[in-house]
Chains A and B, each alone.
Chain A
């Protein structure tokens, strides 16, 4: 027998990309690199900030909303605490809360989505109906309702945001799973009698990593937004914690006389979400080709 021909190589495009390949493909987009740089900058500030802050976050160094005080770079906040110090301290809580809630939400959503998409039938029906009910609550309203009743607690913030992500992630992963289940390699695994949990773990999960990563990025962006907006509405972390969202809430009355106390956290949140979204965009271009045709 002669060597197998390669003529029909062009006929079949690769169906999926491997994990490493996905990042490499995403890296080729200039935006991904910009996104990584922006996100990296803010993460650096949030992580290193507390160690280099000139004061402690609750120390009074000026009069309220006073600027141009000796020993401060950006003046004092609404209570007369050092703005720079509070800014440097206020990032890591946001990052941890957002990261935890996005991670948990995506994890739960993936489990629900893969199970619903693979098992179909009544399991799918029940899970998706519950999903629809959860989706009927706008994310922020759900969070506000729970916060207002039980009171703002850290674990509750994470839990509520994670739960509000779950049905949205589950929807996407279910769609992706159904597309994978249609493929014959899943049928091949069934034909040899592989247990269902192994089919889900070995045949399906590795083939939905593309949409999964994109969802993770997207949910992270939204989580940052929700955590920040909860802080801004006074329903997130409570004083005297230094937190970017809360900082905006506390200092917006004095925005005209002391803009720094608002501008710095606002800029940080904006840069962070833009960066996260740019990375997500790069990943989605590389993985799903949502935005076919732009660039290469």
Chain B
């Protein structure tokens, strides 16, 4: 039962990924202008353009072009960047690592703190800590991430307390990671806090927790044995969804801090109308997004004994 559900989810995940590839390809087809002209520049001779068109197969039917492109993508060949004439995979190599590190650090900072704060405010329900947390998450959840970033720069960067640099540079120290990581952490945390709190409250109010208390168990056993295992499933899903959000959320933050990740690559590629690069980054981000969502689904299934153990 469990395996079947996972297989179905996996199938739809792949199907979605394929649909995304069609959309990305179709979108770039709608682009005005000629790819060959883009590569060669305005001053190219018509003969050279024609030759390159042949070479890139731009005269073939769209479906053939798509098939060739997809074939390449599956084999890890994402084409050649227009702007710096090197393979897209090479261009993306460094930025992917940087972005993943950034996202990983943000997740590492945000998740444990968010879980702890959420669980604690559920236990302190309706008291001062809970109200403060509730209001705090409401406020931070509302503000767009780049605004959070700017506010952090104004407070902690130059112009404010001047503790951390506001722009990333190649030869800067580790302190330049602080503000980008903090910004993303602020953006990721609030939904996790709220979900953890809501789930914990629901579990604590459940009849099985009441029954555990009526059995005469001590509060610690009630919490760790009866409450927490039932709260993990739904919360894990939200955590995964937030991590998926990071994949798209890094763009504005990287742009703001001039951080050399895929988000910045994307913005530069858009600026230069570098189609293969845009395709690759969008496909990559959507892919990560789909994968993490899939992981969230599977995690949710695995945490539920009703699914894990058949009747």
Contacts and interface: CB of A to CB of B under 8 A. Distances in A.
Contacts of A255: 150, 153-154, 159, 166
A290 B150 contact: no
Given A145-B278, A148-B278, A293 B201 contact: yes
Interface in B127-147: 130-131, 134-135, 138-139, 141-147
Contact of A136 (B16, B28, B134, B158): B16
A235 B270 contact: yes
A289 to B, nearest CB: 11
29 contacts: A31-B135, A31-B138, A129-B12, A132-B12, A136-B16, A138-B245, A138-B247, A140-B248, A141-B285, A141-B286, A145-B24, A145-B27, A146-B27, A228-B144, A228-B146, A266-B150, A266-B151, A266-B154, A269-B143, A269-B147, A273-B147, A274-B139, A274-B143, A276-B142, A278-B138, A281-B138, A291-B198, A292-B201, A294-B130
B247 A277 contact: no
A221 interface: yes
A252 interface: yes
B109 interface: no
A270 interface: yes
B249 A140 contact: yes
Contacts of B251: 140-141, 144, 233
B186 interface: no
Interface string B166-200: 10000000000000000000000000001000100
B142 A262 contact: no
Interface string A27-41: 000010000000000
Interface residues of A, number: 48
Contacts, number: 134
A144 B143 contact: no
Interface of B is mostly: helix
A136 to B, nearest CB: 5
A48 B255 CA distance: 32
B146 A229 contact: yes
A150 interface: yes
A266 B147 contact: yes
The size bracket of the interface on B is 35 or more
A43 B19 CA distance: 40
Given A141-B286, A146-B27, A262 B150 contact: yes
Interface of A is mostly: helix
Contacts of B27: 145-146, 149
Given A136-B19, A276-B142, A256 B159 contact: yes
A235 B289 CA distance: 22
B214 interface: no
B146 A232 contact: yes
B299 interface: no
A96 interface: no
Interface string A74-85: 000000000000
Contacts of B90: none
Contacts of A256: 158-159
Nearest to A268: B147
A114 B130 CA distance: 36
Contacts of B290: 136
Nearest to A34: B135
Contacts of A150: 30
A136 B17 contact: yes
A29 to B, nearest CB: 11
B290 to A, nearest CB: 5
B125 interface: yes
A263 B248 contact: no
Given A132-B16, A291-B134, 9 more contacts: A138-B289, A139-B248, A141-B282, A144-B270, A149-B31, A248-B146, A269-B147, A273-B144, A293-B125
Interface string A258-296: 010011001001100110111001000000001111110
Contacts of B139: 274, 277
Interface string B201-216: 1000000000000000
Contacts of B105: none
Contacts of A263: 154
A261 to B, nearest CB: 12
Given A145-B27, A294-B134, A273 B143 contact: yes
A259 B160 CA distance: 11
B126 A225 contact: no
Contact of A133 (B16, B154, B282): B16
A268 to B, nearest CB: 10
B144 A269 contact: yes
B144 A229 contact: yes
B126 A133 contact: no
A140 B187 CA distance: 14
B123 interface: no
Interface string A139-175: 1110011111110000000000000000000000000
B150 A136 contact: no
B252 interface: yes
